[in-house]
Every structure is written in C-alpha cells, then in structure tokens.
Amino acid sequence: MKKLLNTLLAGVVLLLPSCGTQTESIPAEVTMSKDTLMDKIKGGWAGQVIGVSYGALTEFKFPGAIIPDNMPIDYSDGCIKNLMINNGGLYDDIYMDLTFVNAFEQHGLDVSADTMALAFANAEYPLWHANQAARYNILRGIMPPESGHWINNPHADDIDYQIEADYAGLMSPGMPNTASEISDKVGHIMNYGDGWYGGVYIGAMYSLAFVSDDIEYIVTEALKTIPEKSHYYRVISKVIETYKADPNDWRQAWAEVEKIYANVAKHCPEGIYHTVNIDAAYNSAYVVIGLLYGHGDFGKTVDISTRCGSDSDCNPASAGGVLGTMIGYSNIPAFWLDNVKEAEDIPFTYTDISLNKTYDMSYRQALQVIDLNGGSTEGDDVTIKTQRPEPVRLEQSFEGVYPGVPIETGNNIDQFFARPGQETAKTIEFEGTGISLCGGMGHPNNAYVGEFEAIIDGQPAGKFTLPVDFRTRCYDVYWKYGLPKGKHTITFRWLNPEEGAQIWPGKVIPYTDTPFVQDLGSK
C-alpha cells in the first residue's frame, strides 16, 4: 500500500497493519508537501468527473435494481470531452459545487449563507428535487435554513446536498469537523435531516482521505460525524457491518440496504409508491458499497457504485472523488485519467470555470482553511492540525409524518381550482395530518406565473404561485403538513387564470401520524 503521507512530525508513526485496517487515529498534526496537497485536490475533482461520466447513460434507468455485469458501460476514448461539450447538463453535481467554490473565492471564507443561497437561486442552470424546491423558496424570500427545512421543502431528505458537498471536504484537508461546519451553512440551503447528513458524511470522507490511505478507516471514521440515533447512521452502519461479515460480496450489502429501504416511509412526493430512489441515505450507501468493496481499486470502485443503480452517475462521482483524493491525481490509472486530461480547460456548462481553474481555487481555499485552523505553511510543506470527527446535531425530517393511500383524482386536477366568479370547485377529501399534490404549471407563455389560494376545511390556508418557467418552477403543486389529525377538505382558488393555462396532474398523497400497515388477517 502506497504511503500518501509524505512527512509526519518527528516521533509520530502512523501504523498500517498488514491486513490494511488502520487501527490508530491519525496524528494530531500531519505534514505533506504542497505538491501532494494539490495532487490530492486534483484527484478529488478528477475522480468526480470520471465517475459522473462513467455512469452518465445509466442514471435512474435501474431504480431498485442492480445493473447486470454483462451490460457494458461505455468509457471510450474522448468520452469526457464529448460529454462536456455536447451534454454539459450531465455535470450538474460539479457545477453546483462550483457555485459554492466560486462564492468562497469572490466573498471570502466567511461568506454568508444568504449570499450563497442567492448565488445558487439566481444561477441559470436547471435544478430538481430539493435544490429546485429551495430555489423556489429563496426567490420568494424564504432563506436558509428555512429554505431546506422539511416543512417548506418536501424533498429535504433527497440526495441534493450529498452530490454537491465534495468541495467542503476538499477545502478542509484532515479537518472533518470544519467540513461539517461549512456544510451546516451551505447544506441547509436545500436539505435537512438525512438529506443534510448525506453532504456532511461525504465531506468528512473527502477530508479524511487527505490524511489516511485506508479506505475502510475513512468510511468508518467519517461516520462519526453523523448522530448514532439518526436513520442515516443506521443505513450506513448496515453496509459497514455487512462488509465486515463478507468483504467480497457487494451484492449482499446492496440487498441489505434494499431491505431497509423497502420498510421505511419515503417522503419525496415523486418517489412515494414509485421505484424512483432519490433518498440521500440509500444513495450514500451505494457510494460506500463502491468504496469498501472496491478495495482501493479505482475502476472497481467506480463500477460497483454505478452498478448499484438509482442515481448511478452521482454515486460513482462521489466514490471516485473520495478515492481520487486518497490516492491522488498522479495515481489514478491512465485508462481513467487520460480522458480527464484532454477536458481540463473546457468550462463546465453554465460557468466560465474549467477543471484547471477549479484545482487552483480549491487549493487556495484549502491553504486558507489550514491556516485558520492552526496549521502552517513553511517552504514547500504544509502542516495540518487534524481533527477527530465529532457528530453534528441530531435532526430528522418528517418525524411523525407517514404517507397514506393515494387519492384517485383522475387525470384532471384542474377541476379542484376554482376561477374568479366560480364559487366552488371540486373538493379533495382526505383523512390525516397533511397532503401533497404532485404536478406542475403549463402555459404557452413561459413568463406566466399562476397565483392561487388554498382553502382547507373552508378556511383560507395561504397563497402560493406556480411559475411556468422551468428554471423557477415550484417542483410540487402544493403541500401542507401539521394539520390536526382527522377528516379534512381542500380546494383551491385560481386568482389569475388565463386561456391556455393548465395544471399538470400528478399524485395526491395524504399523510397521517402512524405508518400504514395493512392487516389481511383471515381474509
């Protein structure tokens, strides 16, 4: 196993047993050359780009299923350059990272969460799930952390911050708690609970990958940043437990994760009673499965994380990034790295930032963070004051909120929206403590914004808007949690209807305070 720590303080030895498991904590200080620091930062970014490119054509095509070994996955010569030029939207998890990297570059390390949020919300790139729900909130004055809180964001547990938290670990080498502090500020723009934990954990793994060359240690030690009572901790712990029982059968770990996933309530409205799996905890598990069962082999790691399915481009991006940080850019095999090298000067879509610019920004920011946390730079070397991971606070989304039986509304939810002069519209009747309506707004004029008022149990329950513009859209038509348990009715007033405007139909989900369990008994 190649030593990645070039210089340790006198008298401090890092023990790496022959079995490959690091049994002692990293030293309180670690010294490495500036070249090594840059090499690891470059490895982290390059690993992400490789992973997302490798999984590009399989994303969400295998929900709840393993991609078969006999299905070839393309990684031909020139594929990254071709994708960046012709399919730049694929790299959303990279250019989302760069929004925050660039904000630190422009405004300094003490940049506010609000400044970050506004940069993110006003960017030209399209967004989905928790990111888009947060953008909608921010553009209407709901700022972080409320923009990511599950009351305001039905996608709070989704994968979004997990796939864009890499920067936090890359700018905090050997300092996982500092990475967590950064993620506290930025991650709550769009996520809460398990969705936030996804980014905290990924950031911690990147951070530790600078100062350890044992992937099992990195995966296990990083989990100490997550509260043990959280659902997220339970899922990742199950992967580690299964790996220790049999470190060669990754499909068994995948199956154990699926067992948990099949028996918990999903809360992304799009994913409820559907095979789509956008949940942070489970996609994080696929990242960890690749890292552990890949045994430090770059190609194997990326391939396993991809073949776990679901978000099968973002997950290998995270796995490739963590391992790329650990082994360094110069040790990524040429088969994988050559495609990166020919694309390093191409700006990512929606930005003027290339990989080469990204390497430099991350390196400068890492040096600043090292200095602010008691480290130092002397000549060609940098000394890092390392941190032992500490758990962030416990927070869980959707506590006491469980999806119920979907309500059949036909293909026309437009019927529930009364126009001016129309006293009543068709009423949705439901029993429970909340409700959500999937769907969207349509109109020939992209600038149109529908204006509505919800009426719950005959009383006004607030106004909301539905923009047609895909960039600023509301990801879901309507949601409301925290109603008194019991029977309810809901209708809507359409305040500014226009000819050609329509509301796209989607699922209508009631919520209750107890899990749905059907007892067929003697039936």
Average pLDDT, the chain: 92
* Domains annotated on the chain, with CATH: 7-112+156-385 (1.10.4080.10), 402-512 (2.60.120)
pLDDT in tens, 459-477: 999 999 999 999 999 999 9
Burial class (CB in 10 A: 0-12, 13-18, 19+), 380: exposed
The model scores a pTM over 0.85: yes
Beta bridge partners of 490: 428, 456
* Residue for token pair 């506590």: 399
What's the N-to-C CA distance of the chain in angstroms?
61
Q: Would you call the peptide bond into 145 cis, given omega within 30 degrees of 0 as the criterion?
A: yes
d(CA 239, CA 27): 27
Q: Which residues, in sequence order, are CB contacts of 29 under 8 Å at separation 6+?
A: 9, 12, 375, 383, 384, 385, 386
- Relative to beta strand 417-418, strand 486-494 is parallel
pLDDT tens figures, 12-52: 223 232 234 454 688 999 999 999 999 999 999 999 999 99
Average pLDDT over residues 174-203: 98
Please tell me the predicted confidence (pLDDT) of residue 411: 65
